[in-house]
Structure 1
Amino acid sequence: MNESMSVWALWLPHIEAVVIRLTVAIIILLIGWGVSVLAGRAVRKLAARSSRVDPTIVPMAHTVTVWAIRIIVLIAVLAKLGVQTASIIAMLGAAGLAVGLALQGTLQNIAAGIMLLALRPLRAGESVSVVGKADGTVEEVGLFLSRFRQADGTQITLPNSLVWGNPIVNLSRNGSRRIDVQVGILYGQDIVQALQAARSLIESHPLVLDSPAPAVFTGESRVSTVVIVVQAWARAGDYGALLNDIRRDLPSRLQEAGFKMPDHAYGPAAGAQGA
């Protein structure tokens, strides 16, 4: 019995030390994890309050802030438990190199995401076309993926490398856009009068901007047809509405003025511009 008590007395300080270290490590972990969550929320709140912060970079800034704090916390916990963190950091570096070689595509997505955020060819809320991949409104550019809301309400997610590696057409970055509509009339009619009828339609439309000035002119000649070309500028948000109105009203206006039109009045460029 005395021997058992002496053994217990010998090990008791070590057990107490281990329990204390473990308790402190758990406390550090819980506090650090909570701090990382609060820091992530603070980043989002600060970004929401400032008009100078681009919403596109907020998700990535949130992720980097949270996990930077968590990695520091984990290293502190291991150090408190008596683990040699220097060797762990070296091992993590070697493991990171191996993982990096194995996940080159993922690293490409991260690098592409950084380039997208640095050069900003697209931003959250803008309407863009990633040629051959997606068309829609930018919802988020993350660390690995970019999300877009398409015109039909569906969401499409692309790896950042695909977005960065393809031409990006930004449809809303500039304040105004130009519509181009072509319509044909049969030969032998008064071209000047046709141009005047088309111009009266454009100049009376409330969505057409005065500057740059709209233009109406004759385009290429086709078999038995003279092409009337209408160009007009509208605010970026009004582009689709103006394009639809001119496509609908221009043939009617010419027919009301007495002009005869071929079976296929529109030229191929009439639908070339997307909204």
Structure 2
Amino acid sequence: METGKIEEYLEMASDAVIAYAPKVIVALLILLIGIRVINKVVSVSVRSMTERGIGADLTPFLGSIVGIGLKLMLVFAVVTILGFDVAAFVGILAAAGFAVGLALQGSLSNFAAGIIIVLFRPYKIGDWVQVPDEFFGQVEEIQIFNTILITPGKKTLIVPNSEVISGVVTNYSEKGHIRLELTLLLGYEESFPKIKSVIEEALRGVEGILQDPAPEVGIESFDTHNVVVAVRPFVTPDDYWEGTFAVHAAIKSALSAAGIKMAYSEGVDLGPIGE
């Protein structure tokens, strides 16, 4: 290659560096400073929304939306400073977005489902919920694409939002209380009024059992060897398991103290029917 050509290319490169270096430096500075400013704005926005009473389930989601919007604006500003045609850039971005959208249809459906959850709020952070099929737990966080649940066994469930809205959502915390579904097998010879009185008295002594609504005690059905007695006390959702264990222990102790015998499905003699 001729020396003159090399010098020409070097001169062209030098001119390009001189022409574009300031733009690149300014663009980088704006990008770095802009990201810091955006993170600060998002933090302040989340804090402001919290102070204004917006729920803790909404603030992370809305903060993410604000951050994404501001970062897109920052990218457009940097592209403009570098001298690119914004219209052409938008066209390229739209085409890329379309291609990415086709590849990430599941993620987009989760995003749309997240917006629906935030708007209609079938549950909030802290609620005990059961979402389609086997997913049960306490809502820890509502993200753009997923809902985070913590099970009673302290397992973390990351449930895609599209699965949440695809079926029935059972919210156990909406009313502020939940009913325990307990049953006892007692002999026909025992007096039901006595049994009911003993159980109701035992329930009044169990911490965490609500008296409004009042506990329900009744005969659920008659089996071949026993009477099936239903015990339906109410507790707050957070006390579900503790209440279940405490009620079982209290009823067993009260029935034992009252001399009431349990029935067994096998090996028992039929006795007279009590009151």
Q: TM-score, normalised by structure 2?
A: 0.83
Q: 2:239 maps to what in 1?
A: 238
Distance 2:13 2:261 in 1: 106
Q: Partner amino acid for 2:35? A: W
Q: Partner amino acid for 1:46? A: S
In the TM superposition, what are the counterparts of 1:90-101 in structure 2 within 5 Å?
90-101=91-102
CA contact (8 A) 1:121 1:168 kept: yes
In the TM superposition, what are the counterparts of 1:68-83 in structure 2 within 5 Å?
68-83=69-84
Change over 3 Å in CA distance of 1:258–1:74 after alignment to 2: same
Change over 3 Å in CA distance of 1:211–1:8 after alignment to 2: closer
CA contact (8 A) 1:183 1:251 kept: no
C-alpha deviations, 1:152-197, integer Å up to 9, x for none? 2221212111122232222222222222321121122322222222
Q: 1:53 maps to what in 2?
A: 54
Distance 1:187 1:236 in 2: 34
CA contact (8 A) 1:129 1:136 kept: yes
Q: 1:161 maps to what in 2?
A: 162
Q: Residue 58 of structure 2 aligns to a residue in which SS? A: helix
Q: 2:3 maps to what in 1?
A: none
Q: 1:268 maps to what in 2?
A: none
RMSD: 2.8
Distance 1:91 1:72 in 2: 16
C-alpha deviations, 1:61-88, integer Å up to 9, x for none? 2222222222211111111111101011
Q: Residue 264 of structure 2 aligns to a residue in which SS? A: coil
Is 1:150 matched up with 2:133? Answer: no
Distance 1:180 1:247 in 2: 11
Q: Residue 56 of structure 1 aligns to a residue in which SS? A: coil
Q: 2:273 maps to what in 1?
A: none
Q: Partner amino acid for 1:25? A: A
In the TM superposition, what are the counterparts of 1:6-155 in structure 2 within 5 Å?
15-50=17-52, 52-155=53-156
Q: TM-score, normalised by structure 1?
A: 0.83
Q: CA deviation at 1:10?
A: 9.8
Change over 3 Å in CA distance of 1:101–1:29 after alignment to 2: same
Q: Which runs of 5+ in 1 are unaligned?
A: 266-275
C-alpha deviations, 1:199-223, integer Å up to 9, x for none? 2222344433332222222220001
Distance 1:122 1:74 in 2: 35
CA contact (8 A) 1:129 1:170 kept: yes
CA contact (8 A) 1:40 1:66 kept: yes
CA contact (8 A) 1:36 1:67 kept: no
In the TM superposition, what are the counterparts of 1:256-271 in structure 2 within 5 Å?
256-263=257-264
Change over 3 Å in CA distance of 1:207–1:37 after alignment to 2: closer
Q: Which runs of 5+ in 2 are unaligned?
A: 1-6, 267-275
CA contact (8 A) 1:174 1:236 kept: no
Q: 1:172 maps to what in 2?
A: 173
CA contact (8 A) 1:255 1:261 kept: no
CA contact (8 A) 1:129 1:168 kept: yes
Q: 1:200 maps to what in 2?
A: 201
Q: Residue 179 of structure 2 aligns to a residue in which SS? A: strand
Distance 2:66 2:11 in 1: 46
Q: Partner amino acid for 1:235? A: T
Distance 2:161 2:182 in 1: 35
Q: Residue 227 of structure 2 aligns to a residue in which SS? A: strand
Change over 3 Å in CA distance of 1:87–1:257 after alignment to 2: same
Q: 2:216 maps to what in 1?
A: 215
Number of corresponding residues: 261
Distance 1:105 1:240 in 2: 36
Distance 2:11 2:103 in 1: 52
CA contact (8 A) 1:195 1:228 kept: no
Q: CA deviation at 1:14?
A: 6.3
